[in-house]
A and B are shown apart, each in its own frame.
Chain A
Amino acid sequence: MVNVVKEQKGNALHVRLSGSIEESVNFDQLIGPAPAEMIINCKEVPRINSVGVKAWIKYFQAAQSKGSKLTFIECSTAIVEQINLISNFTCGGRIESIYVPFSCTGCKSELVGLFKAEDLKKLNNQIPDLKCTKCGGKAIFDDIPEEYFAFLGR
């Protein structure tokens, strides 16, 4: 079940989502009427099912049609997967930053690194390795670049 923390900063309403987005989600109740500007932090969304996707598009599409400016930040891997699978998942909003998955070649740990979308465009699918925070080994990008970064080419 997803929780929402809202904070007004200047003109923008900052919305932090945490938890799985599934059939129980009601964005109208959780976020309320769409403000003029909304910054949605998706860092803590580990999972979204198909009914959650439908609810997401329904809410953010309505917000966008009312003129709300949408910016998605710190998108989790689960959210990035949906952005790539559903062409209108961001409902006209801008993706500012996403988490990129890495896998340690030594201890096999999973890691994520936060990247700005504009920086990723410049990297052209050549993602630099990270240092594993657990064993200090080399952590390499762990997905199919043409698929994980497909949204950048839209």
Chain B
Amino acid sequence: MSRTLLLISRRPEDQAFAQAVAVTAEMSLRVVAEPREAAALIAQEDISAILADTSTAEQYQALEVAIQEAVGLFSDRINANAFHFLRSDDLEKVQYLVQSPLFGHFILRNYGDPAAAGENYGRVVRATLAERAFGLAGLIRDGTKVQVVKLSNSNQTQQAVEAVKNYLIAAKFQTRLATVVANAVDELLMNAIFDAPIDSLGKAILSATPRSTPIDLAHQHEVEMHVAYDGKYVAVTACDLFGSLDKVKLMSHISKIYTEEEYKVRTSVAGAGIGLATVFRSGGSFFFVSESRVRTEVTVFFQRTDNFREFKDQFRFISTQFYF
């Protein structure tokens, strides 16, 4: 039986996007204009994923109220993993979405070509429908080779980062584009090596350790990097075995900007807390998948473009999938 993708939007560009998402994810598409109609459908039918126009705080509030009244915000009929919020403004302007109990995915509506963006995002939606959304192969075009690099020590990070950069330059990426991707990989690996490890009580064990400290990446500290380039998108995943990703902290970091506020150096932690936000604002999209105490995979995507201007202005999203 085909799964259902529900779109709540009156915008033609959202409908073109959703249509392409549905095709790629092999879903049937239902379109409604109002949150109340959507909530009624959610109460009556099996809805697997919801794309919702949340351009204004009022639209979001109307959705939250309708869901609460129809099935409850913490219902077993629907959860945050299924909600994909559509917006035209960047993340820092929408704290109401970031803090929402329904927050699962954020799509910045700079589609360019909505059908192409929908095809790309459809793979993410398709992955979220699986029992577990792990694995880079499902996020890129079928048949794309995934290269796996296993790091044995944290002091190999910069070598791995430079290897990705050189690979992309060889694949005809502009040097500046390749450098941005390399920096993203750097941030992902550092987070996997130093921020992911927790003890049995859930306390971070390496957060205060200087990032230049060599860490043996064996047993539970094992970290892998997966790299794939399908000719249009490059995707890199950092995998760890702690499953410690915290959605509230994650969204707080990624939505924080320092263009007006001053960045304050915190000495209690060794990390800077600005890496992911920088990557997102440089054109990267994220897919975070975490199963508590089992595994976390963080994938960053970039579209290859002929120039940096298009690269920075590309279609972007932040997608999260948590299993408890």
Contacts and interface: CB of A to CB of B under 8 A. Distances in A.
Interface string A138-154: 00001110010010000
B291 to A, nearest CB: 26
Interface residues of A, number: 34
Given A61-B265, A88-B262, 16 more contacts: A47-B183, A49-B190, A51-B271, A53-B272, A57-B263, A58-B265, A84-B259, A85-B274, A86-B258, A87-B260, A87-B263, A88-B258, A88-B263, A103-B306, A110-B175, A144-B309
Interface in B279-324: 281-282, 306-309, 312-313
Interface string A8-48: 00000000000010111000000000000000000000111
A49 B186 contact: yes
Nearest to A77: B176
Contacts of A142: 307-309
A103 B174 CA distance: 10
Nearest to A23: B211
Given A85-B258, A110-B174, A147 B312 contact: yes
Interface string A51-67: 10110011001000000
Interface in A120-154: 142-144, 147, 150
Contacts of B272: 50-51, 53-54
Given A50-B272, A147-B312, A22 B282 contact: no
Interface of B: 158, 174-176, 179, 182-183, 186-187, 190, 210-212, 257-263, 265, 270-275, 278, 281-282, 306-309, 312-313
SS class, residues of chain B in contact with chain A:
loop
B92 to A, nearest CB: 12
Given A50-B278, A51-B211, A143-B309, A23 B179 contact: no
Contacts, number: 93
B258 A49 contact: no
A29 to B, nearest CB: 12
B212 A50 contact: no
Nearest to B266: A54
Given A22-B186, A142-B309, A85 B257 contact: yes
A6 interface: no
A78 interface: yes
A101 interface: yes
SS class, residues of chain A in contact with chain B:
mixed
Max chain B Cβ within 10 angstroms of own Cβ: one of A1, A49, A87: A49
A23 B212 contact: yes
Contact of A47 (B182, B190, B212): B182
Contact of B274 (A23, A46, A50): A50
A108 interface: yes
A85 B262 contact: no
Interface string A99-113: 001010000101000
Interface in A68-100: 77-78, 81, 84-89
Contacts of B271: 50-51, 54
Given A103-B308, A143-B309, A85 B281 contact: yes
A101 B270 CA distance: 32
Nearest to A104: B307
Given A23-B210, A54-B265, A46 B179 contact: yes
Nearest to B306: A108
